Structure formats: C-alpha cells, structure tokens
Amino acid sequence: MGEDMAIVRQVLGGDVDAFRALVERHQAGVLGFVGNMIADRHACEDVAQDVFVTAFRKLASFDPARSRFRTWLLVIARSRAVNAIKKKAPASVAALPERTDGRDPSDGAMWREVGERLDAALADLPVRQRLAFVLAEIEQLSHAEIAQIEGAKIGTIKSRVSRAKAALRQALKDVVGGES
C-alpha cells in the first residue's frame, strides 16, 4: 500500500509517467479478475485497458483512508466488467488456448471437460454471485473487501459466495464425482 501511495502522489504531483508503475504492478491482477468475468480474451484486454484509463482520469478521487489502491482499482474493474457483460453475453473460456499443466496426458480430456463445464456454470451464475465468487475464491479478497467493492453488507456477500459455490458444485457433480 505504501508503495502504491508513493506512486499515486508522484502522478498527482505531475509525474504522469509514474502511472506506468501502477499499471505494471496491478495489470496481472486486473486482467485475471476481468478474465474471470469475461471469457473473450480481446474484450477482457479492452476492459482492462479501460480500467487503467479510468483509474488515471479519476486518480485524484482515490482515498487511501477508505481502501487500498488494489481494492479501488477492482471497484473500477467490476463496474467495467459488468457493463461489458450487459453489452454482450460472455463466450466460453473453452475457446482460449490450452495451458500445459504437467498432468498425465490421458487426464487432459477430463480436465478440459471440467474446465468447460466450470466456465459454463460460472457464466450461468447471476452476475452478482459470479462477481462475489470470483473476488472471494479466485482473487482471494476478504468478505469485507468484497462488500466494499460491491457496496453490499458482508452477510450478503457470504450468501452470494455460498449460493455460487452450491450452484457450481451442482453443475459439476457428475464430472468431478458427487458432492464435496
């Protein structure tokens, strides 16, 4: 947080090139978050770029007393991702190139199927449940941080995450072998 604030102060002080350091520090996190919300790689990159353009324009409104810079950036990312989802239904992440994971090649088909089913199940979740799930389970944010990003109560966030997990568990029960 201290390093982010030092960079923010530099940018606000007129060193606009210093913003590049904030982009480099947070680009992977923003791309990952948006990518978990929007399956289309090109749309994801466009949204992530828009997040940083918006952050640059609104940097003076960042208040370190209210949140960490990362949390503030994810609020912007959430807003942009939701807008993109509303404009166009997300495509399946199954269209993305395969990742090598070192597993036995005979397991590849099963893992592809699990990935495809997970992507489809995640896309089928209501947007608020999907956001809460992605922020909690993939971005590893606390319920308090998610509540701040979502503008909701912590209990509401816990409920959304729980419902998302139940829906995903149900959608994947025949692929991964029953209840967990």
| CATH number of the domain encompassing residue 176 | 1.10.10.10
Which residue range forms the structural domain that includes residue 159?
99-180
Tokens coding 9: 């102060």
| Number of compact structural domains in the chain | 2
Average of per-residue pLDDT across 132-149: 89
The Cα 100–Cα 117 span in angstroms is 19
My answer on whether 71 and 133 are in the same domain is: no
Tokens coding 140: 């590893």
My answer on whether 35 and 78 are in the same domain is: yes
Tell me what pLDDT residue 77 has: 93
Q: What is the pTM of this model?
A: 0.65
12 pLDDT more than 60: yes
My answer on whether 1 and 83 are in the same domain is: yes
My answer on whether 87 and 25 are in the same domain is: yes
My answer on whether 15 and 38 are in the same domain is: yes
Tell me the chain's radius of gyration from C-alpha atoms. 18
What CATH code is carried by the domain that includes residue 86?
A: 1.10.1740.10
Tokens coding 107: 């397991």
Q: Identify the weakest region by mean pLDDT among 15-29, 66-80, 95-109, 151-165.
A: 95-109
Which of 91, 114, 139 represents a domain boundary (last residue)?
Answer: 91
- Residue 104 pLDDT class (50, 70, 90 cuts): low
85 vs 15: which has the higher pLDDT: 15
99 vs 23: which has the higher pLDDT: 23
Q: Identify the weakest region by mean pLDDT among 42-46, 59-63, 95-99.
A: 95-99
My answer on whether 25 and 51 are in the same domain is: yes
Which of 91, 112, 144 represents a domain boundary (last residue)?
Answer: 91
CA distances from 129 to 104, 126, 134, 144, 168 (A): 33, 5, 9, 16, 11
Which of 47, 67, 91 represents a domain boundary (last residue)?
Answer: 91
Average of per-residue pLDDT across 93-117: 57
Q: Compute the C-alpha angle 63/64/67, nearest 5°.
A: 95
121 pLDDT more than 60: yes
Most confident of 47-51, 81-85, 101-105: 47-51
The Cα 72–Cα 78 span in angstroms is 10
My answer on whether 53 and 103 are in the same domain is: no
The Cα 144–Cα 38 span in angstroms is 24
Tokens coding 92: 């399946």
My answer on whether 113 and 179 are in the same domain is: yes
Provide the percentage of residues in the chain whose pLDDT is more than 90: 44
90 vs 80: which has the higher pLDDT: 80
Provide the percentage of residues in the chain whose pLDDT is more than 70: 82
My answer on whether 79 and 139 are in the same domain is: no
Residues ≥6 apart with Cβ < 8 Å to 158:
143
My answer on whether 78 and 137 are in the same domain is: no
My answer on whether 8 and 86 are in the same domain is: yes
10 vs 171: which has the higher pLDDT: 10
My answer on whether 15 and 66 are in the same domain is: yes
